[in-house]
Amino acid sequence: MSLIEITEVRKAFGDNEVLKGINLNVEPGEVIAIIGKSGSGKSTLLRCINGLETINAGSIAVAGAQLLPDELHLRALRLKVGMIFQQFNLFPHLTVGGNVMVSQTVVKKTAKDQAEGMARKMLDRVGLGHKFDAYPDELSGGQQQRVAIARALAMEPIALLCDEITSALDPELVQEVLAVVRELAAEGMTLIMVTHEMKFARDVCSRVVFMHQGRVHEIGPPEEVFSNPQTAELKQFLGML
C-alpha cells in the first residue's frame, strides 16, 4: 500500500474543472516534484491532499486515513500531512518559538516544556535556534519560511506538502530554504512539492510529475522527464524555461 493514494480526483471551481481525474501513488520516502504551467492545477492538487479544497469526485488516502470533508477526519489527516505555503503564513502575534509551539500545545495537548523542547530542536534543525524569541516580522523571508518548515515538522508529520515555497523569496534567499528541504529529503521525509526550481527537482526528487490542463501529463524519474520528454507539451514547457 502506498503512503499517499490519489485516485481519480476531480475538482471544479464552478464550471471550471481544474483537476480532471488525477491518479498518483506516493511511496514512503519519495520526493515528488509537481511541475507545470500556472493554471495546470498543481497547487489545487496539493491543497486537495490537505483538505484545504474539497474534492468533487475520487478519493485521497494518507497512510490509510481517508480524506473526508468533516472536521474529525480532516484533523486526523492533517496531523499526518504538514503543509508549507508560498506566503509562509506565520502567526504574526506569536514569537518564532510560539509559532512552533502553539499547534503542539493546542492540538496535541503537549505539555509546555515538552513543546518548547521540540520547538528548539526543530528550530535548530532549520538553523534558527537563536531566533526563538524574535517575532516573524523581524526575520527575512528565507528565515520565515524556515520557521514555517520547523512549525510543520514539530507536529511530526509523515509527509510534507510544499506549495511553491521559494516563489515569494528574493533570489539570494532561495538556497537557504532549499538546503533545508534537501536535508529533509536525505533524512527520508516524504515530500510532495510544487516547484519552479527545475535544477532542484532534477537533483533531489525521485519522481517528477508534469501536469497539464488538469491531468498528469507525464510522470517519471527526473532524468527521464527532463532529458527525454515524451510529449510536445512537456517539451514546450521545458523549452520555455
Partner 1 sequence: MSDFSTWDIIRNLLLAARWTVVLSLVSFIGGGVLGVILLFLRIGKFAGACAFARYYVELFQGTPLLMQLFLAFFGLGLFGIDVPAWLAAGLALIFWSAAFLMEIWRGCVDAIAKGQWEASASLGMGYFQQIRYIILPQAIRIAVPPTVGFSVQVVKGTALTSIIGFVELSKAGTIVTNATFQPFTVYGFVALIYFALCWPLSKSAQVLERKLNVAHRNH
Cα–chain center distance at 216: 18
Binding site for partner 1 (CB under 8 A): 50-52, 71, 74-75, 78-79, 82-83, 85, 87, 89-93, 102-103, 106-108, 135, 137-138, 148, 151-152, 155
Angle at 94 between CA 115 and CA 145, to 5 degrees: 85
What single DSSP character describes residue 136? Answer: G
Closest approach of partner 1 to the CB of residue 118, in Å: 13
CB proximity list for 123: less than 8 A, separation 6 or greater: 96, 97, 100, 129, 131, 132, 147, 150
Closest approach of partner 1 to the CB of residue 233, in Å: 30
Nearer of residues 106 and 111 to partner 1, judged by Cβ? 106
Closest approach of partner 1 to the CB of residue 68, in Å: 15
Q: How many Å apart are CA 40 and CA 71, to the nearest integer?
A: 28
CB distance 156 to 4 below 8 Å? no
CB proximity list for 73: less than 8 A, separation 6 or greater: 65, 66, 67
Q: How many Å apart are CA 39 and CA 16, to the nearest integer?
A: 11
Nearer of residues 6 and 225 to partner 1, judged by Cβ? 6
Closest approach of partner 1 to the CB of residue 16, in Å: 20
CB distance 177 to 147 below 8 Å? no
Nearer of residues 20 and 108 to partner 1, judged by Cβ? 108
Nearer of residues 102 and 238 to partner 1, judged by Cβ? 102
Nearer of residues 52 and 179 to partner 1, judged by Cβ? 52
Closest approach of partner 1 to the CB of residue 136, in Å: 10
